[in-house]
Amino acid sequence: MIAGALLNAAGCLLLAVSHGVATYYAAWVCIGLAMRLTLYDAAFAALVRIGGAEARRPISQITLLGGLASTTFWPVGHFLAEHFDWRGAVVAYAGFALLTIPLYLSIPDVPARSSESPGAITHAPAPAAGRGNAVVLGGLYALIMSLANFLNAGMSAHMIGVLAGLGLAASVSVWIATLRGIGQSLARFCEVLFGGRIDPLTLNLAATLVLPLAFAAGLFSGTSVVAAGVFSFAYGAGNGLLTITRGTLPLVLFDHRTYGTVAGRLIAPSFFFSAAAPVAYAYVMQRFGEAGALYLSAVAATVIVFAATLLLLLGRAKP
């Protein structure tokens, strides 16, 4: 994660000084590598290494404030770009990346505890203990997370543009989009308070059910600010919970001692979906308009719901 912070800073600085296609893409390659080293997946693996099978609660806790990233930094980025141009804004972002290094240094580098407390989830056999079960459950998990990351990357890049294209003023679109972060954090806060009573498979399905409803509301954003707010907030809530289950589902489906390896392999396809999403959304918006992007999102969200339902049914079956 420290290496990722340095790469984040380097990528932002390279982006700020880029005046050609080659350096622009080189900057984004650097930032892309940095994101894989610093975002939730790396943190989840570190937490499981430290806490073993009891890492579910810490995973929920670190995502809580993370949900406010867009709420905080979209307006900050908008302010910096207006006053210092976008190049000045990304230079400031490079500084923000470097400020995380002391926080990373404070994380203890210790292996998972060798003993488990009574009631730890590993006392029950993992549903994916058999090879056949591992392939099916792992495939469903990978599909859910790949499509969820596709939606997340697409919305991160184009939510403001979609809202503005449907008829909202640019400044209003920015503030409406920040409701996404509020929805993420409130949903995660509720999970921290009450999530211990809900198993990750059920929570995962509940989170996915919110997504199609959010995109349906988004279709009315051009004529209703309330609908736009519901779209942004509801999508943020569903996506926020899916971020948690991305880290906790492998704890109940697989042996936590192989968490890093298994989760890394299953999440890897989602990175390609994330990379393709901004371009795919831009193409759909250009060809079919902003409403077309929401229809695309609704279809992907519906597939996620079906996959989450199957994962719940098969995950609860005895291996």
Q: Is the pLDDT of residue 318 over 70?
A: no
Residue with token string 């972060």: 181
Q: Is 58 exposed, middle or buried (0-12, 13-18, 19+ CB in 10 A)?
A: middle
Looking at this protein, which amino acid is placed at residue 296? Answer: L
What pLDDT score was predicted for residue 170?
85
Per-residue pLDDT tens for 87-124? 999 999 999 999 999 998 988 877 655 444 444 444 45
Q: Tell me how many degrees the CA angle 264-269-271 measures, rounded to the nearest 5.
A: 85
Q: Spell out where the chain has E strands.
A: none
Least confident of 45-49, 264-268, 273-277: 45-49
pLDDT tens per residue, range 13-29 = 999 999 999 999 999 99
* Average pLDDT taken over every residue of the chain: 87
Give residue 22's identity as a one-letter amino acid code: A
C-alpha to C-alpha distance for 21 and 166, rounded to whole angstroms:
30
Phi and psi angles of residue 100, each rounded to the nearest 5 degrees, phi first: -80, -15
Q: What is the 3-state secondary structure (H, E, C) of the chain?
A: CHHHHHHHHHHHHHHHHCCCHHHHHHHHHHHHHHHHHHCHHHHHHHHHHHHHHHCHHHHHHHHHHHCCHHHHHHHHHHHHHHHHHHHHHHHHHHHHHHHCHHHHHCCCCCCCCCCCCCCCHHHCCCCCCCHHHHHHHHHHHHHHHHHHHHHHHHHHHHHHHHHHHCCCCHHHHHHHHCHHHHHHHHHHHHHHHHHHHCCHHHHHHHHHHHHHHHHHHHCCCCCCHHHHHHHHHHHHHHHHHHHHHHHHHHHHHCCHHHHHHHHHHHHHHHHHHHHHHHHHHHHHHHHHHHHHHHHHHHHHHHHHHHHHHHHHHHHHCCC
Q: Which pLDDT score is estimated for 218? A: 96
Residues 209-237: tens digit of each pLDDT:
999 999 999 999 989 999 999 999 999 99
Average pLDDT estimate for 181-190: 88
What angle, rounded to 10 degrees, do the helices at 179-194 and 56-66 form? 160
* 262: its two tokens: 């298994």
Cα atoms found within 13 Å of the Cα of residue 244, Cβ hemisphere only: 39
Predicted confidence at residue 127, as pLDDT, reads: 61
Please state which of the ranges 131-135, 141-145, 293-297, 311-315 shows the lowest mean pLDDT.
131-135
According to CATH, the topology of domain 2-107+130-306 is Growth Hormone; Chain: A; (1.20.1250)
Q: What is the mean pLDDT of residues 63-88?
A: 83
With a pLDDT cut of 90, the percent of the chain lying above it is: 56
Confidence of residue 52 (pLDDT cuts 50, 70, 90): confident
pLDDT of residue 65: 74
This prediction's pTM: 0.79
What pLDDT was estimated at residue 122? Answer: 43
**Residue 106, SS3?**
coil
Coil, strand, or helix at residue 302? Answer: helix
pLDDT in tens, 120-161: 444 455 665 555 678 899 999 999 999 999 999 999 999 999
